[in-house]
Chains A and B, each alone.
Chain A
């Protein structure tokens, strides 16, 4: 193999202009693939993060009753009536503690948290906002939506008489950490309710959600909403967000609850993400084909240029296999060197994009995620493409008749 490697390197060095051009071609191709992949990955991660930042990956809720048709027979007459569902009321999940234990055992699930939620009104002075009360077990819920990272002011804790509120709600009410607000469930007078002290404000990544979110301790919310000991939903977080739909199906088999993953509740978003992924894959495939054609065309020319040398080497005792390997090595070397340079160029492009392209607030639009696996896979793929591209020219070199080659 030493001879083949030596010859491949010398042939590449001898035709350094050709070699530089094709290595440049591979470099640009790999840089485009890596940069586009990193850009789309960053964009998707950012989109998913914004979408799922304050949302559980999977939510289990009580089964909603549906309107039923009732047929009654009386004196030979059939009466058909539609039984509408009862007026909206908060439905509770029975035995939620056992259900949580069962959900935690489902493969892929990393966190489970109970929640009691319902509508309410937040009041402070003249200010009043329609809000949603989220009764949570803070340590568990923190693992679902990572509240720690969303805390803007105050502390992340929830004791009886304390609330965490969205930043927009705090602003609307003119309240800050330490202030007291009233939360009313509307069952008493419109201005009556329970008084809570704000211990922290949260930016939930969604202005509307930040305007209506009030977090209470679970047991307080249960009492507030009239659900003693009950919860309205169970939130789950999964290890792989794109496997949420499959895991939701497994979760649904555990209990007779309505289980919905973020993928079904955000199907349009998912379609957009899939379209982006498909576009990226298409770009990768076509860039790879262009790179392969470029390498192949240069090596075909190289075989023609080296015909006489191939002939003399064959006369010296070089086997067909050795000549085949010389050109396969050239293809792989071009792919390897080009891809390493391409990876470096992609890193530079990512840096420039992050530095130069800024949003209206002056911050980077979103992080471009260039990972080691992405770089490694791109380099390995380009090297393999180089080998594949070299197969036809290498076979041609190996098949050359030495006597004919020397007459060339």
Chain B
């Protein structure tokens, strides 16, 4: 996939520190500069404790950086305005986590519809058809009414991917989406993510420990000790 023109994400000088007891502060990220283009399929790799998940939380507008600026689809982010954060998150971002985080009280179809419900679009014939199509595209046609507890780990993660795409976000953030799956299922999931990237032009930023899967991405950004130490594009 070639990167489309324009950026879906731009980070400049991102720092993040935590108070671990005054006056000691632990800085996790030390000035991250990163740009992700529209439709880019990027892997974020690095050892445990390198700051990958923290960086993903900042990009996902779930945590505020201590310093630095974030732009999503060209919009500068103000972390002090919870309403705007919520709107921007809903409009531009999709999330896939290591653990599927599906809502156990809702069926697979309802879980996919959840972002629409949250954002007031409701469960219309159109949104339900879209959700069914997504469910079919992750290979789970016919599982509409199944509860998460009735699905295998791989199936749950597929539903979570479909949910992440239901609002047609510009960028999907995936935090070790295959970390909890066996090798074959993990490879299948990666193929699926790539297919969505190609079909919909959605940019993906995928945190993974799996170096082999990372090499299939367009770009590999390596984080170590809170800094980007390598940024390689596949030729």
Q: Which residues of A contact B (CB under 8 A)?
A: 2-3, 6, 10-11, 13-14, 308-309, 311-320, 322, 401-403, 406
Task: State the main secondary structure of chain A at its contact with B.
Answer: helix
Q: Find chain A residues with CB under 8 A from B89 CB.
A: 315-317
The answer to whether B82 touches A3, judged by C-beta atoms less than 8 angstroms apart, is no
B118 contacts A by Cβ under 8 Å: yes
Kindly identify which residue among B62, B63, B103 contacts A309, using a CB–CB cutoff of 8 Å.
B103
Give Cα distance in the complex from A10 to B119, angstroms: 18
Q: Find chain A residues with CB under 8 A from B117 CB.
A: 2-3, 6
The answer to whether A312 touches B103, judged by C-beta atoms less than 8 angstroms apart, is yes
B95 contacts A by Cβ under 8 Å: yes
Give Cα distance in the complex from A14 to B89, angstroms: 27
The answer to whether B104 touches A318, judged by C-beta atoms less than 8 angstroms apart, is no
Closest to A315 in B: B95
Give Cα distance in the complex from A401 to B85, angstroms: 13
Nearest-neighbour CB distance to chain B for A159, whole angstroms, equals: 79
- Interface contacts beyond A14-B105, A309-B103, A315-B89: sample of 10 additional A-B pairs, CB < 8 Å, sorted by A: A2-B122, A312-B97, A313-B118, A315-B95, A316-B89, A316-B90, A317-B167, A318-B118, A319-B82, A401-B63
The answer to whether A10 touches B105, judged by C-beta atoms less than 8 angstroms apart, is yes
Kindly identify which residue among B63, B82, B87, B118 contacts A316, using a CB–CB cutoff of 8 Å.
B118
The answer to whether A319 touches B83, judged by C-beta atoms less than 8 angstroms apart, is yes
B101 contacts A by Cβ under 8 Å: yes
Closest to A313 in B: B118
Give Cα distance in the complex from A233 to B91, angstroms: 83
Q: Find chain B residues with CB under 8 A from A13 CB.
A: 105
- Residue of A309, A312, A318, A320 contacting most chain B CB atoms (<10 Å): A312
Nearest-neighbour CB distance to chain A for B113, whole angstroms, equals: 10
Give Cα distance in the complex from A319 to B97, angstroms: 20
Q: Mark B69-102, 1 if CB is under 8 A from A, else 0.
A: 0000000000000110011011100010100010
The answer to whether A317 touches B95, judged by C-beta atoms less than 8 angstroms apart, is no
Q: Find chain A residues with CB under 8 A from B190 CB.
A: none
Nearest-neighbour CB distance to chain A for B54, whole angstroms, equals: 9
* Interface size in chain B (residues, C-beta < 8 A): 27
Give Cα distance in the complex from A326 to B90, angstroms: 18
Q: Which residues of B contact A (CB under 8 A)?
A: 57, 60, 62-63, 82-83, 86-87, 89-91, 95, 97, 101, 103-106, 114-115, 117-120, 122, 163, 167
The answer to whether B90 touches A317, judged by C-beta atoms less than 8 angstroms apart, is yes
Give Cα distance in the complex from A309 to B102, angstroms: 8
Give Cα distance in the complex from A38 to B223, angstroms: 72
Q: Find chain A residues with CB under 8 A from B83 CB.
A: 319
Give Cα distance in the complex from A14 to B107, angstroms: 12
Give Cα distance in the complex from A288 to B12, angstroms: 55
Give Cα distance in the complex from A322 to B82, angstroms: 13
The answer to whether A315 touches B60, judged by C-beta atoms less than 8 angstroms apart, is yes
Given the interface pairs A315-B60, A315-B89, the reply to whether A322 lies near B118 with Cβ below 8 Å is: yes
The answer to whether A318 touches B86, judged by C-beta atoms less than 8 angstroms apart, is yes
Closest to A15 in B: B105
Nearest-neighbour CB distance to chain B for A291, whole angstroms, equals: 25
Given the interface pairs A2-B122, A406-B97, the reply to whether A316 lies near B115 with Cβ below 8 Å is: yes
Q: Find chain B residues with CB under 8 A from A322 CB.
A: 118
Closest to B119 in A: A317
A-B contact pairs, 27 of them (CB 8 A): A2-B117, A3-B117, A3-B118, A3-B120, A10-B106, A13-B105, A308-B101, A309-B103, A312-B95, A313-B103, A313-B118, A314-B86, A315-B62, A315-B95, A316-B89, A316-B118, A316-B163, A317-B89, A317-B115, A317-B118, A318-B118, A319-B86, A320-B86, A402-B62, A403-B60, A403-B62, A403-B63
The answer to whether B105 touches A316, judged by C-beta atoms less than 8 angstroms apart, is no
Give Cα distance in the complex from A401 to B60, angstroms: 13
Give Cα distance in the complex from A259 to B105, angstroms: 70
Give Cα distance in the complex from A308 to B98, angstroms: 13
The answer to whether B62 touches A316, judged by C-beta atoms less than 8 angstroms apart, is no
The answer to whether B114 touches A316, judged by C-beta atoms less than 8 angstroms apart, is yes
Closest to A2 in B: B122
Given the interface pairs A315-B89, A315-B95, A317-B90, the reply to whether A11 lies near B115 with Cβ below 8 Å is: no
Closest to A318 in B: B118
Q: Find chain A residues with CB under 8 A from B106 CB.
A: 10
- Residue of A311, A320, A401, A406 contacting most chain B CB atoms (<10 Å): A406
Q: Find chain A residues with CB under 8 A from B105 CB.
A: 10-11, 13-14
The answer to whether A320 touches B103, judged by C-beta atoms less than 8 angstroms apart, is no
Give Cα distance in the complex from A10 to B82, angstroms: 26
Q: Find chain B residues with CB under 8 A from A10 CB.
A: 103, 105-106
Give Cα distance in the complex from A403 to B63, angstroms: 7
The answer to whether B120 touches A316, judged by C-beta atoms less than 8 angstroms apart, is no
Nearest-neighbour CB distance to chain B for A184, whole angstroms, equals: 88
Give Cα distance in the complex from A314 to B95, angstroms: 11
Closest to A321 in B: B83
Give Cα distance in the complex from A402 to B117, angstroms: 18
Q: Find chain A residues with CB under 8 A from B163 CB.
A: 316
Kindly identify which residue among B82, B87, B101, B122 contacts A320, using a CB–CB cutoff of 8 Å.
B82
Give Cα distance in the complex from A311 to B95, angstroms: 12
Q: Find chain A residues with CB under 8 A from B101 CB.
A: 308-309, 311-312, 406
Give Cα distance in the complex from A406 to B176, angstroms: 14
Give Cα distance in the complex from A317 to B84, angstroms: 10
Nearest-neighbour CB distance to chain A for B52, whole angstroms, equals: 13
Nearest-neighbour CB distance to chain A for B173, whole angstroms, equals: 9
